[in-house]
Amino acid sequence: MKIDINLCTFRRPEVVETLRSIDRLQIPEGVQLRVIVIDNDHAPSARARVEAMADGMKLPVTYTHAPAGNIALARNAGLDLSEADWVAFLDDDETVGPDWLAAMIERQRETGADAVFGHSRAAYDETAPAWIVARDYHSNIVEARGGVVETGYTCNSLLRWGDAPWTDQRFDLSRGRSGGEDTEFFFRLRAMGASYAIADKATAHERVSPNRLTFQWLRQRKFRMGQSYSVSARGPAASARLFCTAAAKAAFCHGRALLSLPSAEARNYWLLRGALHLGVCTGVLSMPSRDLYGT
């Protein structure tokens, strides 16, 4: 079983800690593991630190430079280089425990799924606002809807690749600066027949940077998440139903926010939920997304 871990990076020194945690993995018998680091900066700014770290690692590391400040382009460069049976994805500000890979593989073998998604747990410092910590807005928790996992994230996932019918599929470049390219990608693969499962024991950990600890950043993220989810509606009738439902939910959420003005936690919760549903509406209408990444 050959696995390539695709690790995209953009101006984050923390990628060294990610690589260090990968090198500590307990690799199951019969598994061959390689790490592909894709540097998405305009200049190859991560090359020196990645190659210095790779010199002391037990695992083979391939570095490539895919400039553009577009995360979808970087993910596609990793897929172009991948020749393994499976491709795993992690973010460059995450770390994993020694049993992460074994838990992912175990869950895949239990379910026979074409992709398994683990959770990404956020770690906050003392500067994080209480209302953010209380609702844990920065963790990515994969959930099933009606017992079905419809899509997932590249922050913690393992995808069948070598013999899969979707090896010609790539991430949408138009979403590479706004985000949501992974949500759309996995929705698309599911439409091609891919089946998904959740690996609760395979957790990644992410320390939240201070610039993301604001209401404005979270509002933009929720809005974009709604835009990404809109691709789940296929065809005019489904799109119309989704738009009407999301519009009604957005109105309800903003009404609840008005009733919750005295409480920052409750008020912001409803405003952020409203932003999510407004994002769905604009996504159905194919309105442009705001750039969040690559700047």
pLDDT in tens, 147-194: 999 999 999 999 999 999 999 999 999 988 888 899 999 999 999 999
Percent of the chain with pLDDT over 70: 98
Same structural domain for residues 92 and 236? no
Same structural domain for residues 34 and 56? yes
Model confidence at 284: pLDDT above 70:
yes
Average pLDDT of span 279-288: 90
Same structural domain for residues 100 and 184? yes
CATH number of residue 204's parent domain: 3.90.550.10
Percent of the chain with pLDDT over 90: 89
The residues pairing with 61 across neighbouring beta strands, listed in sequence order, are 35
**Given 194, 212, 230, which residue is the final one in a domain?**
212
Query: In sequence order, what are the residues at sequence separation of 6 or more whose Cβ sits closer than 8 angstroms to the Cβ of residue 115?
Result: 152, 157, 158, 159, 160, 186, 189, 194, 195, 196, 197
pLDDT band at 80 (very low <50, low <70, confident <90, very high): very high
Q: Give the model's pLDDT for residue 234.
A: 85
Same structural domain for residues 121 and 247? no
The pTM of this model reads: 0.91
Range of the domain at 129: 2-212
**Given 212, 231, 253, which residue is the final one in a domain?**
212
Same structural domain for residues 144 and 64? yes
* Cα within 13 Å of Cα(141), Cβ side: 9
pLDDT band at 292 (very low <50, low <70, confident <90, very high): low
Q: Give the model's pLDDT for residue 69.
A: 85
Instruction: Examine residue 293 and state whether it is found in any structural domain, yes or no.
Output: no
Instruction: Examine residue 148 and state whether it is found in any structural domain, yes or no.
Output: yes
**Given 182, 212, 242, which residue is the final one in a domain?**
212
Model confidence at 20: pLDDT above 60:
yes
The mean-pLDDT minimum among 49-53, 179-183, 220-224, 289-293 falls in 289-293
